[in-house]
Structure 1
Amino acid sequence: MTQMPRLKRRHFLVGAAGASGAAIVGLPNVTLAQDGTPLPDYVAWKNADTMIVHSPETLETVRGAIGTSIVTPNDEVYIRNNLPAPDDSIVADRDAWEVTFEGLAEPMSLTVGQLKTVGVETIATVLQCSGNGRKFFEHEASGSQWETGAAGCIIWSGVPVRDLVAMMGGVAEGMDWLTGTGGEEIPEGLPPETVQVERSVPVAMMETAILAWEMNGEPIPLAHGGPLRLVIPGYYGVNNVKYIKRLAFTAEESPASIQQTGYRLRPVGEKGAPSQPSMYEMSVKSWITGPLMDAATGKVQIHGVAMGGTSAVETVELSLDGGETWADAPFVGPDLGPYAWRPFVVIADLEAGTHTLASRATNANGDVQPEDFPPNERAYGHNGWRAHAVDVTVA
């Protein structure tokens, strides 16, 4: 598999064109992603020009594909699956998919069709892998070397979990966790808890969580968790359990390895443990997504996206000189709520030469995007503005 070069900072020559997808000569119906790797069959519908294939289960969105629109189209959203996607037979009759609810006064099982009669809510959220930005760390952490493309802004529609809780008589006493179990097939011969995708989040998240059946106005594609996905606004993607088949209120966190030792923020060289912080709430973050296209003069449209994590992004600043000076950058487009990102655009007249462009966001809680982010074993959560800066040469 083609490996992306490891760069501390991306360098762009204004006026240079990027690579694009193409069919493999002699192999009809096989399409190359942006990095020259064929798209896996289950995501062959993706826009190949905007995809980088790290593995069959991990596809990254090309940095320059995120423009000045808020919502990321389904065919450009990144892919991160901890297990292979189930057979597509599970989306043949989407309304028949059944979910079991536990830890409630009146536990029951409901189909997607029945869930649609309980209530509907639409919410815009940033979906982001915990490892987004892994490529910027120095310690060569294992895993896909994501740059900025393991993130997208999605509009989800589904039933609010709080409505289901009310319908089932409330949460049973002593239940401190909301636990979602995915419906992926467990490989034969492996203990389920070692590979099962099952995540627990604090029970308070039931107030904003939804069970979604729609993604950007369409039935959720199989590759993204259809027919039904748990969405926890403001939380990293691993907590947004795909193919959800069980939603339980539990007294303890899930015993699954992905909960107990995986996705834990820990020092380099240390093993994962339940005592370490789990990858729950996303942090304030921004990055520049252009210029990456031709420019006839030094006047350049600089654009990017900014997110607040679990509170709304309030401001974003832009630097043209590597952080020496900063100026406010205006947002464009409507505000889709506290969990969505907001595009920003600045028109700058850049002189010939190389410029280091950086962005720095602040959220409604007053959290400011830091200059750097300390290393951790699995290279999670990088939101440092300096590593996300880009060097742009104006010819």
Structure 2
Amino acid sequence: MTRFNRREFLKTLATGSAALLALRFTSGCEFVDVETFGTGGDTSFLTPQDDGVWFWQSGNSIAKEDAPNIAADDWRLAITAGDQRLGELNYQQLRELGAQGQELTYWKTLRCVFSLNLGPLLTSLIANGLFTGVPLTAALEAIDIPAEAVKIRTFGADGFTSNIPLSRLNAEGQLPVMLAYELNGEPLSRLRGGPVRLIIPEMWGYKNMKWLDRLDFTASDEAFGVYETVRFRGVASIDAPGKMALANHTITLAGRNATLDGPDITIEGVAVSGDAAITEVRFSVDDGPERQADLLGDDAGEVRQSLPPALQALMADAAQDDESWPLPNVWVRWSANIEGLSPGSHTLTVRAFDSEGRAQQLDTGDPLAVAQAVRVPFEISD
């Protein structure tokens, strides 16, 4: 794997070769048709975990047929501090913790760090679902964590590695870090990282370790992990805090240079912010005046009614059930009507705004950390 320093990486992102860079880094990805989720159907707010609908991504660039295949009864989570073994947790013990009242469910939008709005291949690595599991803190209650520990290094059975700050486990005002064993009311599938994966509400997908098999407590605060030290070496925002950047994915025009029947069209998309809620989406055509798009499904009752009965009940038990919508860390769908477009070439610009006062901009210099607006060329047919 060729190593890029930060300057080379950002320079490449700023050029037309961004898609080539993504292909180099994402040979373990399978890009799904973005139209299969996010709009339409009875479960438009929720992405089924089925193969070919929920996106596939491997941090170690492995093909899906080579993904770890771990039976639930065989799953073990080793807990270490360097060479010292602190404990172990198996699947039955984890489920027993859930049955004893420790189980929780919450909405989480998983977004791959390669899902930047830079090319037609980079729009589908995002999905939204209801994860169920046990808070990591509950699983660690019987573990004597070293007092000097500041980070948890995370290891997957596929060889992928990352880390999370130890302080994140008890962060105030944040949903708990979760050892998840279900997605959308069903056992977490092999390709989604089952039988158990790490889920961290506000963080990029790579921090949510699939096929989790070891946690290592360390006193070292140095960057650690495949993305942190190899693939994005030198990009500070990739390691800490690892939060998803404010994002906007246009669904209608995901293919770029799409040809649409005019003169009136409807555009749709999803927007999400890693540690905040989406408050507004604005759009303009050909750099004209901005208009406000409609936020869809931003009411808990409306979302619940769009789900099958079993998932309606699960949503009612979710940790966010009494929160105001839209939710932090969870996508919101948006839609807008554009009328009277003339035949020929046009450019759509879309910007999202969040509850922390951040707004997407056209040129940020570091799209992994700072919000970047979406510009999409399209055609109106004669």
TM-score by length of 2: 0.71
* 1:316 counterpart = 2:293: no
Corresponding residue for 2:55?
78
What is the identity, as a one-letter code, of the residue corresponding to 1:205? R
Q: 2:355 aligns with which of 364, 380, 383?
A: 364
Residue 221 of structure 1: CA displacement? 2.0
* 1:116 counterpart = 2:98: no
SS at match of 1:238: helix
Corresponding residue for 1:43?
none
* 1:289 counterpart = 2:245: no
> 1:22-61, aligned counterparts within 5 Å?
57-61=28-32
* 1:331 counterpart = 2:295: yes
Matches of 2:95 and 2:252, distance apart in 1: 40
Corresponding residue for 1:183?
157
Say if 2:265 and 2:339, in contact at 8 Å, map to a contact too.
yes
Identify the range of structure 1 (333-342 vs 250-259) with the bigger mean alpha-carbon deviation. Answer: 250-259
SS at match of 2:139: helix
Corresponding residue for 2:33?
62
Say if 1:253 and 1:259, in contact at 8 Å, map to a contact too.
no
* 1:154 counterpart = 2:122: no
Corresponding residue for 2:187?
219
Q: Residues 252, 213 of structure 1: CA spacing in aligned structure 2 closer, same or farther, 3 A cutoff?
A: same
Q: 1:202 aligns with which of 165, 171, 180?
A: 165
Corresponding residue for 1:235?
203
What is the identity, as a one-letter code, of the residue corresponding to 1:147? L
Q: 2:373 aligns with which of 360, 372, 385?
A: 385
What is the identity, as a one-letter code, of the residue corresponding to 2:29? T
Q: Residues 350, 209 of structure 1: CA spacing in aligned structure 2 closer, same or farther, 3 A cutoff?
A: farther
- Percent of residue pairs identical: 21
Corresponding residue for 1:128?
111
Residue 340 of structure 1: CA displacement? 0.9
SS at match of 2:211: coil
Residue 65 of structure 1: CA displacement? 3.4
Identify, as 1 or 2, the structure richer in helix. Answer: 2
SS at match of 1:360: strand
TM-score by length of 1: 0.69
What is the identity, as a one-letter code, of the residue corresponding to 1:182? G
SS at match of 2:362: coil
SS at match of 2:212: coil
Say if 2:153 and 2:216, in contact at 8 Å, map to a contact too.
yes
**CA shift digits 1:255-290 (9 cap, x unpaired):** 8651652253xxxxxxx35x8443411111113211
Q: 1:168 aligns with which of 142, 158, 174?
A: 142
Say if 2:259 and 2:380, in contact at 8 Å, map to a contact too.
no
Structure 2: state its 5+ residue gaps: 1-14, 171-175, 298-302, 304-324
Say if 1:200 and 1:253, in contact at 8 Å, map to a contact too.
no
* 1:341 counterpart = 2:331: yes
Residue 322 of structure 1: CA displacement? 3.4
Identify the range of structure 1 (294-303 vs 216-225) with the bigger mean alpha-carbon deviation. Answer: 294-303
Matches of 2:108 and 2:269, distance apart in 1: 17
Q: Residues 96, 234 of structure 1: CA spacing in aligned structure 2 closer, same or farther, 3 A cutoff?
A: same
Task: Provide the alpha-carbon RMSD of the alignment.
Answer: 3.5
SS at match of 1:114: helix
Matches of 2:380 and 2:35, distance apart in 1: 16
**CA shift digits 1:43-64 (9 cap, x unpaired):** xxxxxxxxx9x97621113343
Say if 2:358 and 2:371, in contact at 8 Å, map to a contact too.
no
**CA shift digits 1:238-266 (9 cap, x unpaired):** 111111111233212578651652253xx
Say if 1:360 and 1:368, in contact at 8 Å, map to a contact too.
yes
What is the identity, as a one-letter code, of the residue corresponding to 1:285? A
SS at match of 2:202: coil
* 1:278 counterpart = 2:238: yes
SS at match of 1:117: helix
Aligned residues: 313
What is the identity, as a one-letter code, of the residue corresponding to 1:82? G
Corresponding residue for 2:7?
none
SS at match of 1:60: coil
SS at match of 1:371: coil
Say if 1:254 and 1:260, in contact at 8 Å, map to a contact too.
no
Structure 1: state its 5+ residue gaps: 1-5, 11-51, 137-144, 185-195, 265-271
Matches of 2:38 and 2:263, distance apart in 1: 20
Residue 305 of structure 1: CA displacement? 0.6
Residue 373 of structure 1: CA displacement? 3.4
Residue 131 of structure 1: CA displacement? 2.1
Q: Residues 294, 70 of structure 1: CA spacing in aligned structure 2 closer, same or farther, 3 A cutoff?
A: farther
Say if 1:133 and 1:383, in contact at 8 Å, map to a contact too.
no
